[in-house]
Structure 1
Amino acid sequence: MNYTLHQLEIFHRIAKLKSVTKASEELFLTQPAVSIQLKKFQEQFKIPLFEVVGRKIYITEFGEEIALAAASILEEVRAINYKALSFQGELAGKLKISIVSTAKYAMPFFLADFIKENSGVDLIMDVTNKAEVIRALENNNVDFAMVSTLPKKLKINSIKLMENRLHLVGGKDYTHSGKYISNTNFEELPLIYREQGSATRNAMERFIASQKISTYKKMELTSNEAVKQAVIAGVGFSIMPLIGIKNELKNGDLQIIPVKKLPIISNWNLIWLSSKNMSVIAKEFKNHIETSKDRVMDLHFNWFDKY
């Protein structure tokens, strides 16, 4: 047999994702290139690794066994690479971070220079809702988390990164009179909520309750992007983080609707368990954040002041 590590990686991703298209996206390859390597890999075996039914790919029992072996081999290869880099005096290993979905608009900017300067560091970043982020932190599955609301039941350390501002947002066709919309007008707006467990949803509900506004829920969506597209389409209105709507405000697809007591202001924080036995990579990343966060804010988020 004469298969390559590249082919093992491709088959492992396809087996994991059950999709050639998704595997090609994760590997930053074209779909034809992935399909060609998959075919060459299959030619090494007399037994089918997969079956295609309609447009779906199904991994055979034999294929699942090969995918498990591939995962083990690839992990060993990564370990060899880490060891080689370590002996050369470079950082090498995994950095695991869990972030709430809206933080995806900010965290890459705080990570970029660190990843560029340390090619031996493999970043694993899970993007989910607040409840899942806190669970990952509590179970010690990650080195760091990025949240806008600090968990009360965990002993943590934190670094404040930047402000998180939440505004009432509507589509481009909405019009109102006066400096602020009235509570009566607010109550007439069909509202779009994030799912249960979302920090944005919690903040939105607390604000509405504090102002004693009687509203009705138009729909509930499970991502900030989905909410944003629904608001752009004119389906409804929502209280959304400013950080995720920069381009839409600039293009005029969305507008901030002025409401008394808004925006809601909190802070984005990088957090970790106080009891965490940090790896060398985690310690270096923490130091990097402490020394670079102000520069990142000045460089990438000075547009906040316009709103």
Structure 2
Amino acid sequence: MKSRLHAHVGTIRQLEILLAVHDKGSINEAAKALFLTQPTVSIQMKKLTDAIGAPLYNYANRQLVFTDIGLELVKTAVEVLDSFARLDMSLGNIKDFKSGTLRLAVVTTSKYFIPHLLGPFCEQYPNIDIQLKIGNREQTIERLKKGVDDFYVFSHPPVDMDTESIEILRNPLVAIAHEDHPIAKVKNLTLKDLSAEPFLMREKGSGTRYAIEEFLKQHNAKLNVKMTIESNEAIKHSVMSKLGISILSAHTLTYGGQSGLARLPVKELPINSHWFFVWSKSKRPTLLAAKFLAHIETNGRALLQQEMIKTGISYNQTNK
């Protein structure tokens, strides 16, 4: 017998509300985003829960946490709403892309260059909507597992998931110190010279930390980690406050500013990684997603490389 779940799973509006609750992380914030009252959102979520016959989320330490069943419904809601979005675009003027939503989830450091990809695309299709989620590597992997977004940006894509990817940009990681730090006056440094200095490290789950730890394993080296910080900007300001040295993406320095900082000429650096656009093989791309991927593979990649060269990030740089 065919499943009749679709007959009582809820309305399209309920699925929209479900996604808002999931993305915003609370009933109250979802209500604000949808211009609804909080009781209205709560009632619709209760109706949807009753239809499914199991809790969609629970509360832990006042945090709204989705259950496995809730996450499965979120995944299906995205697919259903994407289907309607494709239908909406098909019924309109498909060639002009006068409607549609592009969903991107990117790791924190990539936020500095992503606008340079989106800008020209949005100029070409000014009526589309963009949803951009920024998090660390661990958070972005979780979104990839749920299949919520069209594309994901990593410097080290997960290898244990059924995905496709394209390389779009170099992501050199460089060592930095306060410009008045004694080590900044040394012309020829090695990784060993950094080992005694207080080191400021990104948090667990960060792509930058992942790259540094893999690099240290390869060189059988250790750093004197004194602080763990969850923000590139906070690390830069900590270095400027002479709290220690660090290793960050050159993009962070170029676009986020580097006043008061010095790049250290370390023999084994930079750590040469790359940025990748990643998408799930199991998720059918929307028409808009397919158009954006074509933009990346043609104009987007070339525009980014030109921009990076302008800002001083060399594409021929290798480990010394």
Please report the TM-score for the alignment, with normalisation by the length of structure 2: 0.68
CA distance in structure 2 between the partners assigned to 1:241 and 1:96 by the alignment: 24
User: What residue is the counterpart of 1:55 in the other structure?
Assistant: none
- Residue pair 2:179, 2:262 contacting (<8 A) in 1 also: yes
Match of 1:305 among 298, 307, 314: 314
Amino acid in structure 1 at the alignment position of 2:198:
P
Match of 1:270 among 267, 277, 283: 277
2:314 counterpart SS class? helix
- Residue pair 2:102, 2:130 contacting (<8 A) in 1 also: yes
User: What residue is the counterpart of 1:113 in the other structure?
Assistant: 120
Q: Which moved more, 1:174-183 or 1:269-278?
A: 174-183
2:275 counterpart SS class? strand
User: What residue is the counterpart of 1:65 in the other structure?
Assistant: 39
User: What residue is the counterpart of 1:16 in the other structure?
Assistant: 29
User: What residue is the counterpart of 2:210 in the other structure?
Assistant: 202
Amino acid in structure 2 at the alignment position of 1:222:
E
Q: Which moved more, 1:177-186 or 1:136-145?
A: 177-186
Root-mean-square deviation (CA, aligned residues, Å) is 3.3
Q: % of aligned pairs identical?
A: 26
CA distance in structure 1 between the partners assigned to 2:165 and 2:190 by the alignment: 38
User: What residue is the counterpart of 2:167 in the other structure?
Assistant: 160
CA distance in structure 2 between the partners assigned to 1:248 and 1:285 by the alignment: 26
Question: Does the C-alpha gap of structure 1 residues 286 and 186 become closer, same or farther in structure 2, counting only changes over 3 Å?
Answer: same
1:93: Cα distance to partner? 1.6
- List aligned pairs for 1:52-131, cutoff 5 A: 63-65=37-39, 83=88, 87-89=92-94, 90-91=96-97, 92-131=99-138
* Long gaps (5+) in structure 2: 1-23, 44-80
User: What residue is the counterpart of 2:227 in the other structure?
Assistant: 219
* Long gaps (5+) in structure 1: 1-12, 27-40, 42-61, 70-75
Please report the TM-score for the alignment, with normalisation by the length of structure 1: 0.70
1:151: Cα distance to partner? 1.2
1:182: Cα distance to partner? 4.2
- Residue pair 2:172, 2:271 contacting (<8 A) in 1 also: yes
1:160: Cα distance to partner? 1.2
Match of 2:187 among 157, 164, 179: 179
CA distance in structure 1 between the partners assigned to 2:242 and 2:30 by the alignment: 34
1:108: Cα distance to partner? 1.1
1:209: Cα distance to partner? 3.5
CA distance in structure 2 between the partners assigned to 1:66 and 1:248 by the alignment: 42
- Residue pair 1:194, 1:221 contacting (<8 A) in 2 also: yes
Q: Which moved more, 1:203-212 or 1:123-132?
A: 203-212
Alignment pair present for 1:245 and 2:253: yes
Cα offsets for 1:115-146 (capped at 9, x unmatched): 22222321111100111112211221111001
